[in-house]
Amino acid sequence: MEKKFIIANWKMNPETLAQAREILEGVSGFFSEVPEFNNSVVICPPFVFTEEVSKIMEMSSLGSRIELGAQDIALGDDKSLTGEVSGEMLNKLNVRYVIAGHSDRRYKLDETDEIVNEKIKIILRHEMVPIVCIGELKREEGYQNLLRTQIKNTFSGLSVDEIKRCLIAYEPVWAISTTPGARAATLEDALGSINIIREELGSETRVLYGGSVGADNAQEFLGISDGVLVGGASLNAEEFNKILDIAK
Ligand code: PGA
């Protein structure tokens, strides 16, 4: 099996630093048991825990097992963006991946395709890997066209090489566990959209699936994609370790 990406998006969780440490300790336990694990595991904590997670990784064997991600990035490095966190700051914390265009930001905070496009360029400029989320709000007539437009706008002006440096996560909003009535996409639905992404961006584009991924369905999604973006299930080390175990 090719190397897969298992990405944990903690969103605004957990509540305390102690809980964050506990999750990491739990995940560390997996690597003691499965030392030969050969996939990429990326943890994206909220910014307030990033420095601590970075330190824990530096001071333990976890540093060689997982990589650090961020959930967002500022639109510039000019230091006058109150409340934001710059690419420079992320670089200093050894962050290697940054999520861009998560649907939480697109739909709840009105982040446009143009902003996401700009953020991808900034992430690349800082030598980090953009994890770019793409996905429709609802599965309704014509959603494929919406998806194609979103992809075209989001990646506008990026070269083939730059797109190859990205990971694309197909995350339909209706499948994300926090959406009322959410259910994971069927494999057919997910594959249909993964194919649309590859048609638009190139057949070698690395595409992940996200939306209600858990230990019960990870095997199937890992079978049709380059990896999974895991939200809720990544906050429970036992469940997350099961997903890692499936990917091994
Ligand atoms: P979920 O979240 O796995 O809880 O559905 C995925 C995401 O929003 O990135």
Alpha-carbon dihedral sign for residues 57, 62, 65, 71: negative
Cα separation, 16 vs 175, in Å, equals: 27
87 lines ligand 1 (CB under 6 A): no
- Ligand 1 centre distance from Cα of residue 205 (Å): 21
217 lines ligand 1 (CB under 6 A): no
CA dist list (Å): 148 to 6, 144, 145, 162, 196: 25, 6, 5, 19, 7
Percent residues over pLDDT 90 in the chain: 96
pLDDT digits (tens, 9 = 90+) for 85-119: 999 999 999 999 999 999 999 999 999 999 999 99
Mean pLDDT for all residues in the chain: 96
213 lines ligand 1 (CB under 6 A): yes
Which atom of ligand 1 is nearest to 177's Cα?
5
Q: pLDDT band at 1, cuts 50/70/90?
A: low
If one compares 126 and 2, the residue with the highest pLDDT of the two is 126
Enzyme catalytic residues: 102, 171
pLDDT digits (tens, 9 = 90+) for 23-35: 999 999 999 999 8
177 lines ligand 1 (CB under 6 A): yes
Which atom of ligand 1 is nearest to 211's Cα?
5
What's the whole-model pTM score?
0.97
Copy the structure tokens of residue 110: 């009105």
- In degrees, rounded to 5, the angle at the alpha carbon of residue 96 between the alpha carbons of residues 147 and 229 is 40
